[in-house]
Every structure is written in structure tokens, then in C-alpha cells.
Chain A
Amino acid sequence: MKHERDDGEHELFDRLEREMTQDGGAAAGVTDLDAERARRRSGPADQHFEVSLDDDEDDGGPERGGGLVVEPVAVAGRREVIPSEWRGWANIRATVRYWLAYAGHVAAFHAVRLPWYAAQALFWAVVGVFRVAGRQIRWWWVAEQHSLRQAAADANDPGTWLKLHKETRSTRMWRFIVLGGEVLLLVLVLPVAWAVAPWWARVAGVVAAVAFLARAGRPADRRIVSAAVVTARLRRLSPDIVLRAYYAAGLGNPDRADKVVQFGSTMQRDASGTGSQVVIDLPYGRTFDDAVKNRGAIASGLDVSVNQVFLTRDATSHRRHLLWVADRDPLAIPAGKTPLLDCKRRSIWKAAPFGLDERGRAVELSLMWISVLIGAQPRKGKTFSARLLALYAALDPFVRLFIADGKSSPDWRKFALVAEDMVYGTHPTRDDADPVTHMRLMLRAVKAHILRVNEILSGLPVDLCPEGKLTAELARDPKCPDLRVVLLVLEEFQVYYELDDKDASSEIASLLSYIMAVGPSSGVVLLSASQKPSGVGGASNIGQLFTRFRDNHAARFALKCGNRNVSEAILGGDAYAEGIDASTLPTGKPYLGVGYLYGLTDDTPTVRTYLADHADAEKILIAARKHRETAGTLAGMAAGEVTVRETRDVLADVASVFAAGETGLQWPVIAARLAEAIPEHYADLSADAISAQCRSIGVRSVNVKSGGEVLKGAKLADVRAAIEGRDAA
């Protein structure tokens, strides 16, 4: 022991001696302060702002191999003087309301549990009395010293024992006095205070004492008051975790200097406060596409769900990208109801609200000049997202709506309130006796509209129509009623390519191809949705036209798809090469209405679409009809106009050809009489065709005897029954 101390002293003296000599040396030379200042000033000025392409190891750039990342920096720029939640009356009201609701919840939560809290507190207060007493006795008796004294006795060290013993005795004496004072206080002062204090002070005192004793008495892990609000526990990203993920995904090798993954920025929370982000530099030669392909492996390495990992291309280098890891799966949080529910007038020339992207930013879709293709598996929100956009257009009273609903579903029925023309399905129904012909007429009308618009526009002076295109002013000019924006909705459009009637299919196909090619630039917006976009069979020409029609859509929105081929059909092959595959979208109820919006911007947002359910749609459409009535633009079907006799009511027609007293007619007779009576529809009707049509709408084909010959035919009673059944439905 002594020896060591000597050593230390020697060292100290040696050091002191050295320092003294150094001081002496420095004192000998006088520093020229001005020269020194000049030297310091000129230091940084010598550098200039050229940065070598390759990182210098020691230039203070981003650290190689991801060392400790320096302090996170939030978004650059000035921070708000007054936070946005306290700016403007609406915000202040909302903030105050939020906090009041919060306080109310906490208060109610604890108020309900108050009796249980009281019972628990009383029980633990009893335990607490003994705990506090025991703690004080141990303090008085210097219990923590006991083991030291025992160690001295074990070592047969009477000197140490004696020292400890003496110290203990004096300490115990002093602490005895303190505790005596405390007891005196309790015994003498407390009863007096109790006697003179008002009742509320007594209650407060008892509550405080019980709370204190209960706190002392309860085990540390057993809380009496439970939390009223639970916050989510989130994963905090660290550079080590990120590197682990990238190396585990095979995107680099930490042991080879040319294969290390580097950070291009510091790790930071993103501006919306919903995740962590960092810029990643892959090794030279690895590309953004490699990272996208390995997104699942990166997610696994980060130990998060693949839905939480988002990779964004960086504009400066293809080996660099932004990794954003959301705190929780952002796609499972619904985007909420559509803002269209305020039912105000909208303009198709402005962007339509569509949904929220993975970061909660609003995604808007400017419908003018484009065509939108929406595809997905059935029941994934295809119709809802298409309808969301159509509802926006409906709220602009100057947009003419043409709707072809190939599946004849209730989803689009309410558009009859505003649509100029609507086609339901492909088979005759009560609403539409011959939808295929109707569809042909409607598309012809759209084609005629395109031709008319182009004709008018080319005749207009340049100051009215500067680019030879429709403008927002022209589209609502009452002097040019033909210049309107048209929205053509094609729900399940593939059915019109697969009709039994090949002539009809090929006419519709060529009309659609024409509209797709010329329409968008003439202000015809196409909104197509299909659950079977991968192609149609049948005649090769129709198949080709279908593929061309599908591939010419400018914007594509793919919800959850069954497989990669369907996703490719909707989004195009390029999207798959970029790592966007709608069949990898998550399945499940929370992810309904989630899809990739491709082709509008360079980054493909994963959009959670706003919800407009059946009731919402009806509400919006009723408002849209009011806007149209005010603007005087209600036209066509919605206005109750029947332009041509397109509603061919087969049953009524058939019933009309029965002469009085006839109970049954053979098919050839019916066909001949119809052709004679209503030639515009039945001019070249065959017996087989009318038989097929009637049987498809519930009229039995039975044997009818006429003129000694038994042939198949229809009974009048059956036709009447079918009409009644239809009207009752």
C-alpha cells in the first residue's frame, strides 16, 4: 500500500517539474498577438468550395459505415412563430375542443374507478404503516452497517469492529433524538391540529396521509391508478439497425471497403412526425431497383412490417434513395370520408381529391386531359374509387356525364340523377330493354360530341381559344352550349368487348378506340374500371383493340390484384420493373381502397382512397342535381328526356301482338307480327331471336297448336305474368 502511494507521488512530482519547465520556455518567447489573430482569420478563407466527387475520409462528410449519427435535424427553414394548431379561430377551437375532450375522458375514466382506487389505497396504506415504521427503525439502527461489523468479526479484526461500533453508537444516539422528535410531534401536535382544523382540512389531511402511506406500502410494480390513455410504443430506428437490414438484404458487405452501405443524411423524424427517415447510399453499382426488389428483406432486417417500409428515388444519384420507415402501418389507417360531402360546387379544371398517400399527404388527381384506368380484384374498392372521381365530376354542373355500367350494379344507379345517359349491363332489364344498342348510341353521341367540339374550336378566334383547346371559360360559356367537358365512365368495360353479338362488340371497340385516341384532348375524360383487364378472347381484332384501349390510359390506379399479371395489365410492364406490383398490396379489411396510383407523377404514391359509401354518394348526387338545376345544365336522361325510342320493351311489345281471344302464339308468328308492327326495332327479327329474348326474361317456350301444326311458342298468360313479376320487382 505504502509502496504504491510513493509511486504516485513520484509521478506527480515528475509532471509538475515538466510543466514548470514548459511554462518557462513559453514565457521566454513573447507571442505577437496581431500576427496570431491574422493567422487565425486567414485560416478558413484559404478554403474554397470545391468538393471532390469521392468522399474524403476526414472531411467531416457523412460517416462511413454509419457511425454515430449526429443530432437529428428536422425540416430545414424557419419554424412557425405561432404553431398551426393555435392559428386561426377554427384551429384554436379545434385544439381547445381536443384538449377538453381529452381532459373529459381522463376525468371520467378515473371517476368511475375511484371506489376501487380508494379500496386499494386503504389496503396498501395499512401495509405502508409497517413499511414506513420498519424503514425508520432500520435507519435508526444503521442497519446497512451490520454487514461491515460482521465482516470484521469474521476476519477476527477487533480494531475495525471497535471503530464501527463506536460510530454506530453515536449515530444511533442522534437518530434516536430525531425519531423521538417525530413521535412527539405525532403524539402531541397531531391531536391538537385535528381538533382545531376545519373538516375539509381534515379530509385533505387524511387523503394525503393515505395516499402517502399507500404509495409507500404498494409494491413498486403494482400501480393503484391505471393509465386512462395508452400511447403506442414505436420502434426507434438506429443506424445500426438500418445497416443490419441492408447487409442482411444482400445490398452491401460491411467487410469490403467498396461495398459498404453509407448514409447520405442524418437519421431524422419526418416532417409529419409519423416515421423515421434517412438517405441511404448503396455501394457503387447497386441501384435503386435493387433496393426496391429487396424491400421485403429490408423490412425483415428492420424488424417491421413490409407495409411500413417506403423507398423513394433520389434525383441526384441512382445509388441513393430515401428510406422512410413509418411508425405503424400507414395503409391500415383509413383516409376518412371524402371531402366532397360538403356538397359544394366543384370544378373539373381543378384537381379532384382522391385520398391520402402513405405519409398522410393529400393525393389529388387532375381529371382534365387524361384517362384513368382502375383495376383490381372484385370487392377491393374498384367501383368505390371510380365513383369517387365521378362524384367529383358530378359536382361540376358543366360536366356532361355518360355512364356505362357493364355489371349493372346498384353502385351507379343514383347517377341517374345527373347523368345525361346511362347504360346498364348487357342484358335487357326493366330499365333498359336493349342496353347493347343503347351503348352503341351513347358512344356514337360521344363521338359526335368530339367531332363537334373540334369543329367549333377550330373556328374560334385565337384570343378566345389560345391553344386550340378547350378552356375553363369556354367550357361554361352559355353561348357555346356544345363546348362542355364530358366524363365517360366505363365500369367493367370488358363486357362490351365480349358480347355475343360480334358486330356490336366490334363497333363498340372501334368507337372506344376513337374516343380514347381523340377524346382527352377534346375534353372527354375517360374513367374506366375493370376487374379483368388482362385481355379478352374472341375475334383477334377485338382483342387487339381492347389491349390498345387499355394501354392508352394515362393514369392507372391498381388496387389489390390477384396476381402479378393482372397488376402488369393495369399498371403496365414498366411499373413492375420499378418494383410496383399491386398483387403485393396487403389483403384484409383495413386495406380496402388502397392502391398504387401510377403514371401521374414520378413517385408512385400508395393511395388510401377517401370513402364515399352508398349513402354519401346519394347525398352528393342529390346536391349535384341541385347545382345542375341552378346552372340550368340538367339534360338528357336526368332531365327525363327520351331522345329516341331506345327503351325497347320486349314483353310489352310481345303482349301487344296477341289478338283478342288468342291465348298462345307460335314464335314465327310473333316474329312476323312484331316486324310488321314495330319495324324500327324488329324489322329483321327471326323466330329464334325472339324466342331467346323472351326466354331470357322469364317467358316459357311451350307447345302451341295452330292450324293443325304444333310448334314452340308463348302463352299470353306467361307474358302477362312476366310483366307483372317485373313490375313488382
Chain B
Amino acid sequence: MTILAATPSALSPSMIVAGMVLVTVTFGYALSCWLAPFARCRRCAGAGTRKSLLGHRKPCRSCDATGWRLRAGRRIANTLRDLRDASR
């Protein structure tokens, strides 16, 4: 194994594909955090209500009965921004 041959082989095709996927996923998630910051509530699957143990439908407490939750990425971004604004 010579040094000359080792350099190109360090970036194998599978690694390049993996890197591209990673970048795409990260940017895609950031984009969705920006343009579609809300996603369906996981608890009630976007319905806003849930069945109780007794079978009654009651408002979902996780999403305040809206059926929407803020994406985790957006939540982090908001917190970071609030911290920065508070420090000014």
C-alpha cells in the first residue's frame, strides 16, 4: 500500500453517497423547520383528541388539542435565538 494510492481510496463511493445523503437530509430537515415548522402531533396523530381509558374522547394534552407540534429542530432554533436575544 503506497501513499500515492491511499489518498484517492480514502473517499470510497459509499462514503461519498453517505455524505451526500447526510447533507441532503440535514438541509431538508432545516428547510422543513423553516417553511413547515409544524408537524402532526405524535400523541394524537394530528387529531387533537385521544380516547381515554374509559373510551371517551378527550382533548390531547400534548398538543393543546390543536393536533400540531413544533418540530424539534425548530424548537432548538427558537431556544437558541431566545438565548441570543436575551444576551443582547
**Residue A153 lies at the interface, judged by CB distance under 8 Å to chain B:** yes
**Count of A-B residue pairs with CB < 8 Å:** 27
A153 to B37, CA, bound (A): 6
Measured between beta carbons, the chain B residues less than 8 angstroms from A156 are 70, 75, 78
The residues of A that contact B74 with a CB separation of less than 8 Å are 153
Within 8 A of A (CB), among B18-67: 34, 37-38, 63-64, 66-67
Interface string of A525-544 (1 = CB under 8 A from B): 00000000000000000000
**A180 part of interface (Cβ distance < 8 Å):** no
A162 close to chain B: CB less than 8 A = yes
Alpha-carbon distance A150/B67, docked complex (angstroms): 19
Give A162 to B69 CA distance when docked, in angstroms.
Answer: 11
A154 at interface by CB-CB < 8 Å: yes
Q: Tell me the bound Cα distance from A153 to B32 in angstroms.
A: 12
Interface membership of A139, Cβ < 8 A: no
Residue of A nearest to B39 (CB): A158
> Is A153 touching B66 in the complex (CB atoms < 8 A)?
no
**In the complex, which residue of chain A has the Cβ closest to the Cβ of B63?**
A158
Chain B residue nearest to A159 in the complex (CB): B66
Complex contact B78–A161 (CB within 8 A): no
Mark A146-186 against chain B: 1 for CB-CB distance below 8 A, else 0: 00001001101011011000000000000000000000000
CA distance A150 to B70 in the complex (A): 12
Whether A161 contacts B38 in the complex (CB less than 8 A), given A153-B70, A156-B70, comes out as: yes
A695 to B4, CA, bound (A): 116
Chain A: interface residue total (CB-CB under 8 A): 8
CB-nearest residue of chain B to A156: B70
Sorting the interface of chain B by its residue count into under 10, 10 to 19, 20 to 34 or 35 or more gives 10 to 19
Whether B66 lies near A158 (C-beta < 8 A) is: yes
Give the chain A neighbours of B66 by CB distance below 8 A: 158-159, 162
Kindly list chain B residues whose C-beta atoms are within 8 Å of the C-beta of A159. 66
Task: List chain B residues, Cβ under 8 A from A150.
Answer: 34, 37
Q: Which residues of A contact B34 (CB under 8 A)?
A: 150
**Interchain CB contact under 8 A, B81 and A154:** yes
B82 to chain A, nearest CB (A): 9
Contact A161 B81, beta carbon cutoff 8 Å = no
Give the complex CA separation of A158 and B67 in angstroms. 9
Contact status of A153 and B38, CB under 8 A, knowing A158-B68, A162-B66 = yes
List A contacts of B69 (CB < 8 A).
Answer: 158
With both chains docked as a complex, state the minimum distance between the C-beta of B22 and any C-beta of chain A, in angstroms. Answer: 25
| A142 shortest CB reach to chain B, Å | 13
CB distance from A140 to the nearest CB of B (A): 16
Rounded to whole Å, the gap between the CB of B38 and the closest CB of chain A is: 5
B70 cross-chain contacts in A, Cβ below 8 A: 153, 156, 158
A residues within 8 A CB of B64? 158
Q: How far is the CA of A159 from the CA of B68 in the complex (A)?
A: 9
* Complex-state Cα separation, A150 to B63, whole angstroms: 19
A154 CA to B67 CA, complexed, in Å: 18
B84 CB, min distance to chain A CBs, angstroms: 13
Whole-angstrom CA separation of A162 from B65 in the bound complex: 13
**Residues on B with beta carbons closer than 8 Å to the beta carbon of A153:** 37-38, 70, 74, 78
**B39 CB to closest chain A CB, in angstroms?**
10
A154 to B70 CA separation, bound complex (whole angstroms): 9
A414–B5 CA distance with the chains assembled, in angstroms: 111
| Given known A-B contacts A162-B38, A162-B68, A154 and B63 have beta carbons under 8 A apart | no
CB distance from A197 to the nearest CB of B (A): 45
The smallest beta-carbon distance between A162 and chain B, in angstroms, is 7
How near does chain B come to A155, taking the closest CB pair, in angstroms?
Answer: 9
> Closest CB of chain A to B46's CB: distance in Å?
11
Measured in the bound complex, the distance between the Cα atoms of B72 and A156 in whole Å is 11
Which among B38, B75, B78, B81 is the interface contact of A158 at CB below 8 angstroms?
Answer: B38
In angstroms, Cα B75 to Cα A2, docked, is 31
Taking CB atoms, residues of chain A closer than 8 Å to B67 are 158
Q: Find out whether the CB atom of B38 lies under 8 angstroms from the CB atom of A154.
A: no
Residue from A153, A159, A161, A162 whose CB has the most chain B CB atoms within 10 Å: A153
Residues of A within 8 A of B78 (CB): 153-154, 156
Closest to A162 in B: B68
Contacts of B38 in A (CB 8 A): 153, 158, 161-162
Docked complex Cα distance between A162 and B68 (Å):
9
Bound form: Cα–Cα A178–B64 in Å: 39
Residues in B with CB closer than 8 Å to A158 are: 38, 63-64, 66-70
In the bound complex, CA of A593 to CA of B35 (Å): 78
Min distance, Cβ A472 to any Cβ of chain B, angstroms: 94
CA distance A162 to B63 in the complex (A): 13
**Using Cβ atoms and an 8 Å threshold, which residues of chain B touch A154?**
78, 81
- A161 CA to B39 CA in the complex, in Å? 11
CA distance A161 to B35 in the complex (A): 11
Chain B: CB-nearest residue to A155:
B78
Chain A: CB-nearest residue to B78:
A154
* Nearest A residue to B69, CB-CB: A158
In the bound complex, how far is the Cα of B72 from the Cα of A153, in angstroms?
A: 12
Closest chain-A Cβ to B81's Cβ sits at a distance in Å of 7
What is the 8 Å Cβ interface bit string for chain B, positions 2-21, against chain A (1 contact, 0 not)? 00000000000000000000
Interface residues of A in 566-615 (CB under 8 A from B): none
Q: How far is the CA of A161 from the CA of B66 in the complex (A)?
A: 11
From B82, which residue of chain A is reached at the shortest CB distance? A154
User: A161 to chain B: which residues have CB within 8 Å?
Assistant: 37-38, 68
Interface residues of A in 46-98 (CB under 8 A from B): none
Q: How far in angstroms is the closest Cβ of chain A from B66? A: 4
| Assembled-state Cα–Cα distance A19/B75 (Å) | 56
How far, in Å, is A719 (CB) from chain B's closest CB? 106
Q: How far is the CA of A406 from the CA of B31 in the complex (A)?
A: 99
* Shortest distance between the CB of A158 and any CB in chain B (Å): 4
Report A662 CB to chain B, min CB distance, Å: 117
A206 and B74 alpha carbons, distance in the complex (Å): 50
A–B complex contacts, Cβ < 8 Å, 25 sampled: A150-B34, A150-B37, A153-B37, A153-B38, A153-B70, A153-B74, A153-B78, A154-B78, A154-B81, A156-B70, A156-B75, A156-B78, A158-B38, A158-B63, A158-B64, A158-B66, A158-B67, A158-B68, A158-B69, A158-B70, A159-B66, A161-B37, A161-B68, A162-B38, A162-B66
A→B interface (CB under 8 Å): 150, 153-154, 156, 158-159, 161-162
Taking beta carbons and an 8 Å cutoff, which residues of B are in contact with A?
Answer: 34, 37-38, 63-64, 66-70, 74-75, 78, 81
The 10 A-B residue pairs with the shortest CB-CB distance in the complex, in nearest-first order: A153-B37, A158-B68, A158-B66, A156-B70, A158-B38, A161-B38, A154-B78, A159-B66, A153-B74, A162-B68
Contacts A158-B69, A161-B68, A162-B38 aside, 5 further interface pairs with beta carbons under 8 A come to A153-B38, A156-B78, A158-B64, A161-B37, A162-B66
